[in-house]
Amino acid sequence: MSLIPILELPHPHLRMVAADVAAGRAADPAFQRLLDDMFETMYAAPGIGLASTQVDVQERFMIVDVTDGHEQPLVFINPVIRARSVELRVHQEGCLSIPGIFADVTRADGIEVEALDRHGKPFVMAVDGLLATCVQHEIDHLDGKLFIDHLSPLKRDRALKKYDKLRRQGH
Ligand code: GNR
Ligand code: NI
């Protein structure tokens, strides 16, 4: 297994929209190895989610594990949000692609997501709380979207200026 470099802002590939994962790709040993390497990379960071876009792969899949002890590793291939709750939830988000920046983001509290698992088998999962926040954050990555895009122009501007400053200081 090996760690994969994570793209950081302002890398332009973070803004790319990923294409669907092709049928049969789950049977490719290289794809399974990529998933294992992504889990290793996410746990090492440490992070609770990692989208293909962040490791410079433009195919629609992501991994998530919001547990403390690596207890619920989830793979979502070609994820689609089928339903979202009216209730919203605010969570202070961060992103491995914008290190050092954290801000409150409002998203649906609960969602129903349809996807394929790592073996290519379809499933539907209802999630809420932190897991729902994380799944929405990761699906955004597949569409070239970052959590700072959910902020008001003023707050986004402040976050980006802070990020620039951190980078100039060598963080
Ligand atoms: O590790 C991560 N933590 C996190 C916290 C709040 C909301 C979303 C996240 S996802 C982030 C890892 C990451 O950047 N995934 O794309
Ligand atoms: Ni992220």
DSSP states along 104-171 = EEEEESEEEEEEE-TTS-EEEEEEEHHHHHHHHHHHHHHTT--GGGGS-HHHHHHHHHHHHHHHHTT-
Ligand nearest to the CA of 42: 1
Look at residue 2 and tell me if it is in a domain: no
CATH of the domain at 92: 3.90.45.10
Look at residue 64 and tell me if it is in a domain: yes
Look at residue 59 and tell me if it is in a domain: yes
> In a mutational test of the pocket of ligand 1, which residue from 4, 50, 63, 137 has the highest number of ligand atoms less than 8 Å from its CB?
137
Q: Is the CB of 99 under 6 A from ligand 1?
A: no
Look at residue 66 and tell me if it is in a domain: yes
Confidence at residue 61, expressed as pLDDT on a 0 to 100 scale: 99
State the Rg of the chain over Cα: 16
CA of 96 relative to ligand 1 center, distance in Å: 7
Look at residue 55 and tell me if it is in a domain: yes
What's the pTM value of the predicted model, to 2 decimals? 0.98
> In a mutational test of the pocket of ligand 1, which residue from 96, 106, 136 has the highest number of ligand atoms less than 8 Å from its CB?
96
- Most distant pair of Cα atoms in the chain: their distance: 46
Per-residue model confidence as pLDDT tens digits over 1-59: 899 999 999 999 999 999 999 999 999 999 999 999 999 999 999 999 999 999 999 99
Per-residue model confidence as pLDDT tens digits over 96-140: 999 999 999 999 999 999 999 999 999 999 999 999 999 999 999
| Tokens, residue 38 | 């992504």
Q: Is the CB of 134 under 6 A from ligand 1?
A: yes
Look at residue 6 and tell me if it is in a domain: no
Backbone angles phi, psi at 116, to 5 degrees: -105, 145
Q: What is the dihedral of CA 39, 40, 43, 46, to 10 degrees?
A: -110
Give 65: exposed, middle or buried? Use CB within 10 Å, 0-12, 13-18, 19+. Answer: buried
Our count of domains for the chain comes to 1
Residue span of the structural domain in which 153 resides: 12-168
Look at residue 3 and tell me if it is in a domain: no
Look at residue 102 and tell me if it is in a domain: yes
Q: Does residue 8 have an active-site annotation?
A: no
| Tokens, residue 19 | 């294409």
Q: How far apart are CA 71 and CA 36, in angstroms?
A: 15
- Considering only CA atoms, which residue is closest to atom 10 of ligand 1? 49
